[in-house]
Structures are given as structure tokens and as C-alpha cells.
Amino acid sequence: MGHRKKNRNVGIVGIGETKFSSHREDVNQPEMINEAVRDALNDAGLSIDDVECVVHGNMELFEMIHQPDLWHTLGTGAYGKDAYRLTTGGTTGGTLVAAADNLVASGMYDVVLAIGFEKLQEGHTTGGITNMADPLWARKLQSGALTDSAAVKVIAEFGEERAKRAAMTYRIIMDKHACLNPNSHRAFGLDWDQMDDLIKNSPPLIGNLRLIHMCSQSDGACAMIFASEEKAKSITDKPVWVRDHICIHREETLNLCNNYYPNQTTHKFAAEKLYERNGITDPVEYFDVFEMYDPSAWWGMDWIRDFFLLKDDEHIKLIENKDIMIDGKIPINPSGGVIAANPIGATAMVRVAEAAKQIRGNAGPHQIPRQVNHALASSFGGTMWTILFMLEKELNW
């Protein structure tokens, strides 16, 4: 791994989010983006003139608009500024944060605005995804996150009864969190007495993946402003520091043809490397919150093990004991996570934004009811593209 220490520290100084919903007919794409940009600028107490560079991204092809960043200049404020467009599938929002972090850390820019968006109502997501599939090169598994591979794996290991109950417990916890978050797209008010009914009667999608387990298609945007240490301290008294990030991508993880690599996910690989170089030996103990890109309840519950490097059924126990609830030992997705709202190009950025808000202590009704100093946030994209972020309240590592 060719990783070196950052050239200088980078702080998050502004965060903006739209409300997430199934569709936004009252605004076009740049107008929707402008809501998040304005929110982030207001949050930072900056004007668009203070921003030196704009990084823009969404899921390629999902709105069927080529080079949307050009049109979106009307809403992004990129007029006359340096600008980049990034698109890395579901991971896009995380790639935008990683790029902004790098652009500021390098010294190229002092203040960078990153914007992720999606208006899924307007396009054709399946059309955008399925053209990745290719029979010649055995790129087969391109149904996006619609797969029950995690369910098959977890059921084989822990038995049907325990696995299904753990997945549904995870799902109900996420909904309870979503009900606290005013920006949620979907918040049903699920309760524990619905567990058996949901396990049995929620409409099946694929195998043991049922509709209730799955994330939504959402419209919305997220904007974040990053600044160098010196600038960040002058802009706000509550900057959140991006301590480190790691980006791991390996298509073969989901590629049946080339499955001769060791069976290890990019999540686990990323977590091992990130903790190793930052001296984190017990991540569950160290972190105060984890905002995870969890496309479905099955993947969410399974991935806890990878991200926290847990053994045996430790991750299942965290769920069964409700340790991952907002007032638990290690809260996961107090925002409700991706199952609550999935504006794809923004989704991974929302994870970082929500984790940062928890550290600032102003997340809103879904603020964790105790001090948050260390946060973890993950990104995920179709072919196992993982980015993992460590955020800190203090500059003392």
C-alpha cells in the first residue's frame, strides 16, 4: 500500500442535506442541488466566493443525462471555479469526500465544496446498471445491491431462524433510527411485535431478500465543505477532522469467473489496513458511532463483522443485544442508514456527513445521547468498492 501521511490536516466545516424523498417535482436537478449547497454554505457561514474548487458527482447514467455537471453549474456555484466530476457507482459520495480531502490535504485548494446528488425518479436505474453485465468476460452479477448472497451466507453459518431474526432486528433498529431523522425518505414506525409477520409476509425480491430488507430509490442531494486546518479553525469553532481514509476496489469479489482470490471482502481488507496504520486495536471500543453504507438489512448485519473485524457470532450478538441502537454501546446508523434514504450519488457522502454531525453534536433528533469523539463512515459500490473514513473531534492523534 503506497500510503503516506497527509501533507496537512483537513476539516469538515459545512454540511448541507436536502430532505430525501421518492420524487421532487417542484425542482429540477440544479435547483435541488442548490438547496444542499445553500444549506452547507449557511452551515459554514461562507459565501460561494469563499469556495475555490467544486467536486461534483452522481451515479453514471442513472438520470440518463450526459455531463450533468455542466447543466448543474446553475445550482452548484461552480461558475468560474475549478471543478471536477467523479462517478464511481454507489461509492460516488465517498469518492467525492476522499477527493475533496486529498485536494485540500495536498495544498492545491484551501476550501473545497463536494456535492453528491441523485434524482432517481427521473431515470432508469436498471438500464444504467445492467449494461455492466457481460457474458464474455463473466461480469455476471450486475443486479446492483439486489442480491441475497449475504442471506445465503449468513443462513448457512447461523441457521435460518437466528439469521432471519437478526436481519429483521437490524431492519427494525434502522427504522427506529429513521423515524428520528427528519430527512428520512422512508420511516415506517416498525415495532418488535411485527418481527414474525415481516419475516414471513414481506414481499420476496430474491431468495431470502424481501422488500422490507431493501433500500429505497430516493431523490436528494448532499453538500460538504472541506478546509485546511488553518482555514477550518477560522471558519468554525467545531471543525470535524478527517483523520484518514482508505479506498479499496476489487471487482473480482463479485465476479464468479475469477473467483480464485482469497474469499475476503474489500470491507475487511480496508478495515484491517486502516486500523493498522492508525493504531486502532479494538474498533468497537474506539469508535463512538459508525455510519455504514448498508444497501439491505442482510448486507448491513453481515458487514458489521468485516468492518469491526469481529469473530464468530460477535456481530450477531451486537444486533441481538441492541448494542447498535442509538443509545447502545456502538450506535450504527443513527440516521437510519441507506435503507431509510438512498439518493445514490449522495448516499455515501451522507454517511460521512451524518457521522460528522454526530461529532459536532448537532445531528438533530437523532443525535446520540452521549459524547461522540471518534466516528467511522463507510462507502459501498456495486463491484465492492469500499472507502472507509475515520473522523475525529480533536486534533490529537
Partner 1 sequence: MNIEKDNQFVIEGKLALPYQYFSGRTGSRFLIRLRDDKKINGLKCNACNKVFVPPRSTCEICGETIQDNWVEVKDTGTVTGFTVVRYSEPHQPVKAPYILALIKLDGADTPFAHIVQGIAIENMKVGLKVKAKFAEKTTSTIMDINCFMPAG
- Alpha-carbon distances, residue 137 vs 130, 166, 281, 392 (angstroms): 14, 36, 40, 42
Does position 257 interact with partner 1 (CB under 8 A)? The reply is no
123 binds partner 1 (CB under 8 A): yes
**Which CB, 134 or 157, lies closer to partner 1?**
134
HEC-encoded secondary structure of 25-74: CCCCHHHHHHHHHHHHHHHHCCCHHHCCEEEEECCCCCCCCCCHHHHHHH
Residue placing its CB nearer to partner 1 in the complex, 20 or 389: 20
**Whole-number minimum distance, CB 79 to partner 1, in Å?**
6
Shortest distance in whole angstroms from residue 26 CB to partner 1: 5
Pick one of 24, 56, 177, 210: the residue that binds partner 1 (CB under 8 A).
Answer: 24
One residue of 45, 134, 314, 327 binding partner 1 per CB under 8 A: 134
Site string for partner 1, 54-73 (x = CB under 8 A): -------x-xxx-------x
Nearest distance from residue 12's CB to partner 1, in Å? 21
Question: Which lies closer to partner 1 via its Cβ, residue 40 or residue 168?
Answer: 40
Encoded one letter per residue, x for contact with partner 1 by CB under 8 A and - for no contact, window 163-192 reads: ------------------------------
User: Does 121 engage in binding with partner 1 (CB under 8 A)?
Assistant: yes
Nearer to partner 1, 54 or 356 (CB): 54
Sites for partner 1 among residues 79-118 (CB under 8 A): 79
Comparing CB distances to partner 1, the nearer of 124 and 153 is 124
C-alpha span between 343 and 348 (Å, rounded) = 9
Under rule CB under 8 A, which residues in 30-59 are in contact with partner 1? 30-31, 34, 47-48
State the Cα angle at 220 between 328 and 128, rounded to 5°.
105
Is residue 146 within the footprint of partner 1 (CB under 8 A)? no
Look up cell 438489512; give the residue.
Answer: 297
> Which residue of 11, 13, 20, 29 would you call a contact of partner 1, by CB under 8 A?
29
> Could you say whether residue 124 binds partner 1 (CB under 8 A)?
yes
Residue 156 within binding range of partner 1, rule CB under 8 A: no
Q: Which residues make up the interface to partner 1 (CB under 8 A)?
A: 23-31, 34, 47-48, 61, 63-65, 73-75, 77, 79, 119, 121-124, 127, 131, 134, 136
